[in-house]
Chain A
């Protein structure tokens, strides 16, 4: 039984870490993207409008 628990722990911990790290990084990047867009559009909209898509 101990071997089964050990295998379950390995599988579920790996999956959880992979999902959690991906989701956290996605959230951080989404915030960064929003902040960068704001900086480009509001701070420099007049001067740098040609740089925006």
Chain B
């Protein structure tokens, strides 16, 4: 957090490059998912939801992993920057996990003939718990007053909460449900064009996560800078009186 907030006269080049890369890769991903990838024989066009659903879930897991790392770094170095990174990443993680849950439910209807077959699919329950755990993380942050205590508590919670991520990820392998296992030791259950499309979409969503994280961090830092200047201005006015 800066004590010397500077006005942003010219946007730096690196974030712009990242934004453009994100935009172009998202367009490429959309083209490949809707037009290039072959139509799956059993599920038909509904299978194309896979190219949105899995990358969204991946970004959710990645974002929570970044929250974990940033929380550890905060507890180690006590730098407010890591607290901001952890919070921003958790926000993005919650949004993308929610996207994965909703798209999964939409995909489940034509495939499994139910919107939410939680009795046959343990991952649905685990991913809902995961979402609630990280929503609670964000609620905890918003209820506590800003400061070192909040950052410390949030960091400890952010580390403990991550235990639910591998549990959710591995649930498909541990408990046999309806969810298919795509990546197995003996091979990948995708044809080459499908795999190419999937990898492009995965890359595009990862870039999108990078862009969003960068903007959310900028937003959090600006909020903090504005708050700091407000206090300075208030003090200055009190000094005049």
Give the interface of A toward B (CB within 8 A): 1, 3-4, 6-8, 10-11, 14-15, 18-19, 22-23, 25-26, 29-30, 32-34, 36-37, 39-40, 44, 47-48, 51-53
- A sample of 20 more A-B contacts (CB under 8 A), given A6-B106, A47-B239, A53-B3, is A3-B45, A3-B109, A14-B98, A15-B208, A22-B212, A23-B215, A26-B219, A26-B222, A29-B219, A29-B223, A30-B222, A33-B226, A36-B229, A36-B230, A39-B233, A40-B232, A44-B240, A48-B239, A51-B235, A51-B236
Which listed segment binds A: B46-54, B174-182, B189-197? B46-54
A33 touches B229 (CB 8 A): yes
A4 touches B45 (CB 8 A): yes
The 6 closest A-B pairs by CB, nearest first: A48-B236, A53-B4, A29-B222, A36-B229, A7-B49, A7-B103
CB distance from A36 to the nearest CB of B (A): 4
A22 vs B88: C-alpha distance in the bound complex, in angstroms?
11
B90 lies within 8 A of chain A by Cβ: no
Q: Return the CB mask of B51-69 against A: 1 if under 8 Å, else 0.
A: 0110010000000000000
B7 touches A33 (CB 8 A): yes
A47 touches B240 (CB 8 A): yes
A40 touches B49 (CB 8 A): no
Residue of B nearest to A15 (CB): B208
CB distance from A39 to the nearest CB of B (A): 6
Given contacts A44-B240, A51-B236, contact A11 B99 (CB under 8 A): yes
Instruction: Specify which chain A residues have a CB less than 8 angstroms from the CB of B80 in the assembled complex.
Output: none
CB distance from B93 to the nearest CB of A (A): 12
Residue of A nearest to B88 (CB): A22
Given contacts A37-B7, A53-B3, contact A14 B95 (CB under 8 A): yes
Residue of B nearest to A32 (CB): B226
A-B contact count (CB 8 A): 95
B198 lies within 8 A of chain A by Cβ: no
A47 vs B239: C-alpha distance in the bound complex, in angstroms?
8
- Count, chain B residues at interface, CB 8 A: 42
Instruction: Specify which chain A residues have a CB less than 8 angstroms from the CB of B103 in the assembled complex.
Output: 7, 10-11
A11 vs B3: C-alpha distance in the bound complex, in angstroms?
38
B77 lies within 8 A of chain A by Cβ: no
Partner of B7, one of A15, A23, A30, A47: A30
Q: Return the CB mask of B201-241 against A: 1 if under 8 Å, else 0.
A: 00000001000100110110011011001101101110110
Residue of A nearest to B5 (CB): A33
A26 touches B218 (CB 8 A): yes
Residue of B nearest to A8 (CB): B52
